[in-house]
């Protein structure tokens, strides 16, 4: 599939206001959760992203009716006439595996093809499977397929070896209709888990503790459709904050939950940026060259791995030497080679990258290898001298809504080129 490219002219100071869209990583589990109730649920402020379109295709394949009305997505999960998702649909996005929990709770069986690894890591599912098995689910893995079934889900005391976001979400969604109480210990604490808890409870579930490391779910007999507005995307917001800093701009970012961005705000203040918090927006002003610092990615509320590539772009042209340690994914340095093409001085040893800041990055031909690597290169291009051609921007479309439009309004010079145009 030929992919679109951006042509970006750097050194344009960004000024003005940009509004953050709904969170991709909350929208995906919320869409899966609508499978739990017969009837029509409404989700508001779901972003128009490639990954969301893909999840809608999965729901439609299962028999749901899905309709978009402006900012509202209306999902009728009444007629679930299928419980298996074919290879093609599964392969395109790992988060399709979030239908495991809901389908087991609603239909008692599900078959998916094991989602492939991706650029950033092998993406295992052992914690999902171990937790579901503790709830009484039988699992058969064969020929790259995962088939799972359960006559009756039973509450259990589940301990996650790693605080996996997806595993926490899948086990939560299976447990809401199980007999008895489920505890999930060492649960992921991301804001997206809290958003899912809030939606499930609106549907009649009894979930408590999201945001802490022990979740308690008291099973109920049935759930009912509900309406919910997805939280804002903290990773999109953080990306825009870096754009403001890297172009020595003055940008106000609207639709932000400041406490979801604490590690990002702390680090940007450390580099010397002026950050002003208002109740649902953040103003970022930067004058002069940034100072380098070290980062270690950790599960929430630690520094988010999804902001690591974007910070590396920023640190590539900061003063001094910075060290980034990526503790979550084993292969999330794909953007290093591309940043080097723009003049960045980076060496990688295993999960550690050492960045020697350069005065300025240079425009070059580069390509996105995955969503956040693409975002990092987009930011680097905004700050680089002259022009950058960024290939494979369809990766960026997976996680950023209307990116070029939003940035043109801030004064960026970015143009999307569609091959064979």
Among 32, 328, 368, 384, contact with ligand EPZ (rule: CB under 6 A): 328
Length of the chain (residues): 421
Select from 383, 98, 407 the least CA-distant residue to 393.
407
Q: Nearest distance from residue 146's CB to ligand EPZ, in Å?
A: 12
User: Does the annotation count 118 as an active-site position?
Assistant: yes
In this complex, which beta carbon is closest to ligand EPZ, that of residue 272 or of residue 301? 301
In this complex, which beta carbon is closest to ligand EPZ, that of residue 239 or of residue 247? 239
For residue 96, state whether it binds ligand EPZ (rule: CB under 6 A): no
Residue nearest to ligand EPZ (CB): 166
Binding mask 146-185 for ligand EPZ (x = CB under 6 A): ----------------x-xxxx------------------
For residue 301, state whether it binds ligand EPZ (rule: CB under 6 A): no
For residue 357, state whether it binds ligand EPZ (rule: CB under 6 A): no
Considering only 80-88, 120-128, 307-315, 388-396, which stretch makes contact with ligand EPZ by CB under 6 A?
A: 120-128
For residue 305, state whether it binds ligand EPZ (rule: CB under 6 A): yes
Considering only 74-82, 125-133, 224-232, 274-282, which stretch makes contact with ligand EPZ by CB under 6 A?
A: 125-133
For residue 125, state whether it binds ligand EPZ (rule: CB under 6 A): yes
In this complex, which beta carbon is closest to ligand EPZ, that of residue 30 or of residue 390? 30
In this complex, which beta carbon is closest to ligand EPZ, that of residue 364 or of residue 380? 380
Considering only residues 180 to 239 of the shown chain, the ones binding ligand EPZ according to CB under 6 A are: 188
Among 199, 303, 311, 329, contact with ligand EPZ (rule: CB under 6 A): 329
In this complex, which beta carbon is closest to ligand EPZ, that of residue 44 or of residue 162? 162
Q: Nearest distance from residue 33's CB to ligand EPZ, in Å?
A: 13
Binding mask 49-88 for ligand EPZ (x = CB under 6 A): ----------------------------------------
Number of residues that bind ligand EPZ (CB under 6 A): 25
Q: Nearest distance from residue 67's CB to ligand EPZ, in Å?
A: 23
CB crowding 291-319: b at 16 or more within 10 Å, else e: ebbebebebbeebbbbbbbbbbbbbbbbe
For residue 28, state whether it binds ligand EPZ (rule: CB under 6 A): yes
Q: Nearest distance from residue 98's CB to ligand EPZ, in Å?
A: 8
In this complex, which beta carbon is closest to ligand EPZ, that of residue 111 or of residue 398? 398
Q: Nearest distance from residue 91's CB to ligand EPZ, in Å?
A: 15
Considering only 116-124, 203-211, 287-295, 348-356, which stretch makes contact with ligand EPZ by CB under 6 A?
A: 116-124
Rounded to whole angstroms, how far apart are CA atoms 380 and 99?
36
Select from 315, 323, 332 the least CA-distant residue to 383.
315
For residue 400, state whether it binds ligand EPZ (rule: CB under 6 A): no
For residue 111, state whether it binds ligand EPZ (rule: CB under 6 A): no
Sign of the dihedral defined by the CA atoms of residues 378, 383, 384, 386, in that order:
positive
Among 19, 106, 372, 406, contact with ligand EPZ (rule: CB under 6 A): 372
The three state secondary structure string of the chain is CCCCEEEEECCCCCEEEEECCECHHHHHHHHHHHHHECCEEEEECCCCCHHHHHHHHHHHHCCCEEEEECCEEEEECCCCCCCECCHHHHHHCHHHHHHHHHHHHHHCEEEEECCCCECCECCCCHHHHHHHHHCCCEEEEECCEEEEECCCCECCEEECCCCCHHHHHHHHHHHCCCECEEEEECCCCCHHHHHHHHHHHHCCCEEECECECEEEEECCCCECCCEEECCECHHHHHHHHHHHHHCCCEEEEECCCHHHHHHHHHHHHHCCCEEEECCCEEEEECCCCCECCCEEECCCCCECHHHHHHHHHHHCCCECEEEEECCCCCCCCCHHHHHHHCCCEEEEECCEEEEECCCCCECCEEECCCHHHHHHHHHHHHHCECEEEEECCHHHHCCCCCHHHHHHCCCCEEEEECCCC
Cα 400 off chain centre by: 10
For residue 25, state whether it binds ligand EPZ (rule: CB under 6 A): yes
In this complex, which beta carbon is closest to ligand EPZ, that of residue 27 or of residue 388? 27
Options 66, 72, 74, 118, the catalytic residue: 118
Burial class (CB in 10 A: 0-12, 13-18, 19+), 88: exposed
In the numeric block, the tokens 């914690």 are attached to 127
Active site residue ranges: 118
Residues of the shown chain interacting with ligand EPZ in the complex, contacts defined by CB under 6 A: 24-25, 28, 94-95, 121, 123-128, 162, 164-167, 188, 305-306, 328-329, 371-372, 399
């Amino acid at each position: 599939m030929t992919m679109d490219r951006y042509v970006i002219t750097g050194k344009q100071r960004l000024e003005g206001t940009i509004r953050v869209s709904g969170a991709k990583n909350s929208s995906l589990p919320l869409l899966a959760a609508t499978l739990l109730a017969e009837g029509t649920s409404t989700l508001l402020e779901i972003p128009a992203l490639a990954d969301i379109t893909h999840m809608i295709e999965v729901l439609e394949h299962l028999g749901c009716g899905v309709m978009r009305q402006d900012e509202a997505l209306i999902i009728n999960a009444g007629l679930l006439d299928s419980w298996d998702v074919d290879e093609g649909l599964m392969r395109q996005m790992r988060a399709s595996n979030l239908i495991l929990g809901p389908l087991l709770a609603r239909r008692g069986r599900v078959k998916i093809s094991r989602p492939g690894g991706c650029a950033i890591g092998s993406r295992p599912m052992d914690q999902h499977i171990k937790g579901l098995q503790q709830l009484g689910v039988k699992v058969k893995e064969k020929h790259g397929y995962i088939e799972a079934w359960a006559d009756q889900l039973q509450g259990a005391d589940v301990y996650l070896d790693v605080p996996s976001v997806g595993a926490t979400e899948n086990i939560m969604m299976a447990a809401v209709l199980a007999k008895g109480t489920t505890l999930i210990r060492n649960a992921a604490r991301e804001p997206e888990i809290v958003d899912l808890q809030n939606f499930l409870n609106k549907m009649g579930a009894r979930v408590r503790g999201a945001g802490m490391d022990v979740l308690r779910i008291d099973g109920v007999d049935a759930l009912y459709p509900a309406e919910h507005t997805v939280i804002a995307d903290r990773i999109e917001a953080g990306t825009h904050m870096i754009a403001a800093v890297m172009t020595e701009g003055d940008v106000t970012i609207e639709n932000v939950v400041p406490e979801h961005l604490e590690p990002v705000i702390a680090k940007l203040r450390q580099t010397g940026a002026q950050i002003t918090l208002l109740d649902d927006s953040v103003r970022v002003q930067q004058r002069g060259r940034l100072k380098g610092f070290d980062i270690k990615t950790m599960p929430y509320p630690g520094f988010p791995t999804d902001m690591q590539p974007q910070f590396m772009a920023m640190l590539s042209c900061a003063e001094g030497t910075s060290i980034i340690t990526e503790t979550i994914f084993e292969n999330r340095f794909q953007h290093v080679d591309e940043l080097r093409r723009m003049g960045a001085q980076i060496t990688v040893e295993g999960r550690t990258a050492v960045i020697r800041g350069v005065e300025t990055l240079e425009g070059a031909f580069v390509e996105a290898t995955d969503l956040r690597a693409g975002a990092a290169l987009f930011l680097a291009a905004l700050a680089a001298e002259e022009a950058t051609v960024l290939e494979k921007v369809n990766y960026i479309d997976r996680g950023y809504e209307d990116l070029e439009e939003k940035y043109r309004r801030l004064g960026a010079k970015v143009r999307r080129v569609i091959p064979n145009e």
